[in-house]
Amino acid sequence: MTPETSSAPVLLEVDNLSTWFDTVAGIVKSVNGVSYQVRAGQTLGVVGESGCGKSVTALSIMRLLAMPPARFAGGEVRYRGTNLLALSEKQMRDIRGNRISMIFQEPMTSLNPVLTVGRQIAETVMVHQKVGKREAMARATEMLRLVQIAEPQRRVNEYPHQLSGGMRQRVMIALALACNPEVLIADEPTTALDVTIQAQILDLLRGLQEKLGMGIVMITHDLGVVAESCQRVVVMYAGRKVEEAPVAELFDRPLHPYTRALMASMPSMNSAERLTEIPGMVPPLTQLGPGCSFAPRCAYATDRCRREMPALRALGEDHVVACFEAERVASDALGKLERVVA
């Protein structure tokens, strides 16, 4: 974290959040005691493989989960000190899309196919900013220009299917930023885009953040994206946070076996060696045992790991990890971490 962002105000705080789903197969503990915070001007990366709880945490923040089957089993989500989970739906609508916005994973399914992109942006502006249609459409055109879409006056009247994948993603960003939110949650914003467009989208978000001073939660499975765009990183596994650190510290000294395994499995243009795979599978979230959820896949696991759930503890300045064997992991040189940021 830079000195500028370390002293910036905390905008969003997830405090010991648990989001569970009641199903016929049992209770699915998708998010189980997760905590993190986002400051103004900071980008926080949240990483982990599919099913670890990254997106459910984001949807919990936005209060966009169907209840039931979902329910909040504990914790709070605070925006500038106000617990969002305690607000009425009407109060939450004043914040959602206005003070806190979200870019969803797949723009083709998130955008309404029968409305022009301009109208979709304008409707958001009219709801939250209480302005007329003409002013809202002017704002929509301005937003398309802001996200660097060519010929915004023409594109504002086009439908999602008339745009390329990269342009649709830019429209999603314009839609999310139309009301100048303080917090932006970006859920896999570069998925399914080629690497050139990915770089453009990340540069765009970085530039808009500098201009607007917003905090960003960057949800991704791509450690390259994290290395390029984030100041802090939270690593999640099976619904829990297993490690958190500043991005440079995490890449230099990963302390959790899962974090190290993720880094070792990243491809590199500079190496012809076979990638290291993580053995086994993520356990079903209805069948989590008493111990560490990663223990069945972990080369460092002991009997204690299988019996007890490790709590988060500090190892070094501003670096926390949930692992009994973190010191042993740290002493083992993984090597070749440069492949991630090459």
Tell me the mean pLDDT in the region 208-226. Answer: 85
Closest CA to 289 of 8, 29, 14: 29
- Cβ neighbours of residue 245 closer than 8 Å, sequence gap 6 or more: 232, 233, 253, 255, 318, 319, 320
Element (H, E) at 56: helix 54-62
Kindly report which listed range (102-111, 171-180, 301-310) carries the lowest average pLDDT score: 102-111
Asked if residue 269 has pLDDT above 70, the reply is no
180 confidence band (pLDDT: 50, 70, 90): confident
Burial 35-47 (b: 16+ CB within 10 A, else e): bbbbbbbbbbbbb
Kindly report which listed range (131-135, 250-254, 338-342) carries the lowest average pLDDT score: 338-342
| 152 cis-preceded (ω within 30 degrees of 0) | no
For residues 36 and 224, which has the higher predicted lDDT (pLDDT)?
36
Fold of the domain spanning 3-99+181-341: Rossmann fold (3.40.50)
Percentage of the chain lying above the pLDDT 90 cut? 17
Q: Taking a C-beta distance cutoff of 8 angstroms, is the pair 11, 80 a contact?
A: yes
pTM given for the model: 0.83
Q: What is the pLDDT of residue 268?
A: 63
For residues 109 and 77, which has the higher predicted lDDT (pLDDT)?
77
Burial 64-99 (b: 16+ CB within 10 A, else e): ebeeeebebeebbbbbeeeebbebeeeebeebbbbb
- Residue 29: Cβ-neighbour burial (10 angstroms; 0-12, 13-18, 19+): buried
Q: What is the pLDDT of residue 336?
A: 39
Asked if residue 333 has pLDDT above 50, the reply is no
Tell me the mean pLDDT in the region 121-147. Answer: 85
Q: Taking a C-beta distance cutoff of 8 angstroms, is the pair 204, 184 a contact?
A: no
**CA end-to-end span of the chain, whole Å?**
21
d(CA 175, CA 111): 10
Q: Where are the CATH 3.40.50.300 domain residues in the chain?
A: 3-99+181-341
156 confidence band (pLDDT: 50, 70, 90): confident
Q: What is the pLDDT of residue 3?
A: 47
Asked if residue 175 has pLDDT above 50, the reply is yes
Tell me the mean pLDDT in the region 233-245. Answer: 92
Residues 108-112: contacts with CB under 8 Å, at least 24 apart: 108/160, 108/161, 108/165, 108/168, 110/172, 111/160, 111/168, 111/171, 111/172, 111/175, 112/160
335 confidence band (pLDDT: 50, 70, 90): very low
Q: What is the pLDDT of residue 277?
A: 76
